[in-house]
Amino acid sequence: MAQPRILIVGSVNMDIVARVDHMPVPGENVRGWDLATIPGGKGANQAVACARLGARTDFLARVGDDEFGGRLRRGLAEAGVRTDAVAAIAGCPSGIAVIFVDARGQNSIVVTAGANGRLTPDDVDAARGLMADADAVLLQFEVPPETVARTIDAARRAGVPTIVDAGPPRRPVDEAVFGATILSPNEAEAASLLGIEPGSAPPEAMACELLARGPKAVVLKAGSYGAIVADAERVERIPAFPIKPVDTTAAGDAFTAALAVEIVKGTDLVAAARIANAAGALACLTMGAQPSMPTSNDLIAFIHTHI
């Protein structure tokens, strides 16, 4: 079959990652035992993952005109991402994420938008040629809400399906996100979209409620519980792969990227979510965001050993 063509509209950050024994509570000074700067950002992570999984991947994003900006663009290009639409904003810093990873591999993240906040609806309009040439558009919430809304609308007008990774949680909710073809939040993001307390409803119920808001399908990421697929035909849980995580930072990004690639290939939604579960599990086994994004060969080998 033809190579999948995916346009990513989203964020690119430099991740400053510190390993800690446990997450600090307010007023606590916690000793870290490792520090690294690793390219990340939800949009960039997903772009790298799509490229490694064999898709022709275009990326619409903004970096700063600082040292990080140049390094981020080079890293994307080296991973096979097409970066013609990744521009540097003069006098603006690149996006930064400060990430703590504890001994269990769980993470806590603080993001400063930097140049990501300068990606505008006009930039989306200027990239309509890329959109018209894509099989799907993948986007997240680390760029301005008006840019997300314009992307969904432009893709709908162009007849191109959209896959929205609804992270990080954002209030108030922009109703435009319910116009996505596939909405893929995690549990906390689903609760935020529904305006309820995290943990107050089971994943299946949240997926159904989100489906009723307008998307054609919902694929809810529920960590070790697996993933929930909800569409007009079914509500089904796809079990997670049992692993011992090293770093969960970009597991959701690997999941969403693999889901997008499989959907473009024509894979059934449940089967696509099963493959996406494998991609998310693989990402948990390597430290760092973009370094943990699996290749298609990695994914095939992992699935074969876990059947």
Domain ranges of the chain: 5-24+33-305
Q: Can you give the pLDDT at residue 185?
A: 96
Spell out the CATH class of 5-24+33-305. alpha beta
Q: Can you give the pLDDT at residue 1?
A: 66
User: Could you report the per-residue pLDDT of 106-152, keeping only the tens digit for each?
Assistant: 888 888 999 999 999 999 999 999 999 999 999 999 999 999 999 99
Q: Note whether 108 and 100 are within 8 A (CB).
A: yes
Catalytic site includes residue 253 = yes
User: Could you report the per-residue pLDDT of 152-185, keeping only the tens digit for each?
Assistant: 999 999 999 999 999 888 888 889 999 999 999 9
On the question of pLDDT at 307 being above 80, the answer is no
The first and second tokens of residue 6, run together, are 């995916």
9 pairs with which residues across the strands?
Answer: 60, 139
Instruction: Report CA torsion sign: 274, 280, 286, 291.
Output: positive
Amino acid, single-letter form, for residue 221: K
User: Could you report the per-residue pLDDT of 268-305, keeping only the tens digit for each?
Assistant: 999 999 999 999 999 999 988 888 999 999 999 999 88
**In what order do the strands lie in the sheet containing 227-231?**
86-89, 56-64, 5-9, 136-139, 162-165, 182-184, 217-221, 227-231, 235-238
Q: What distance in Å separates the CA atoms of residue 141 and residue 118, rounded to the nearest whole number? A: 13
User: Could you report the per-residue pLDDT of 87-111, keeping only the tens digit for each?
Assistant: 999 999 999 989 898 988 888 888 8
Q: What distance in Å separates the CA atoms of residue 168 and residue 57, rounded to the nearest whole number? A: 22
228 pairs with which residues across the strands?
Answer: 220, 237
Q: Can you give the pLDDT at residue 155?
A: 97
Q: Can you spell out the DSSP letters for 213-243?
A: TS-SEEEEE-GGG-EEEEESS-EEEEPPPP-
Q: Can you give the pLDDT at residue 306?
A: 83
User: Could you report the per-residue pLDDT of 22-65, keeping only the tens digit for each?
Assistant: 998 899 998 888 898 989 999 999 999 999 999 999 999 999 99
Backbone angles phi, psi at 125, to 5 degrees: -60, -40
- Name the band, by pLDDT with cuts 50, 70 and 90, for residue 248: confident
Catalytic pick among 58, 165, 253, 298: 253
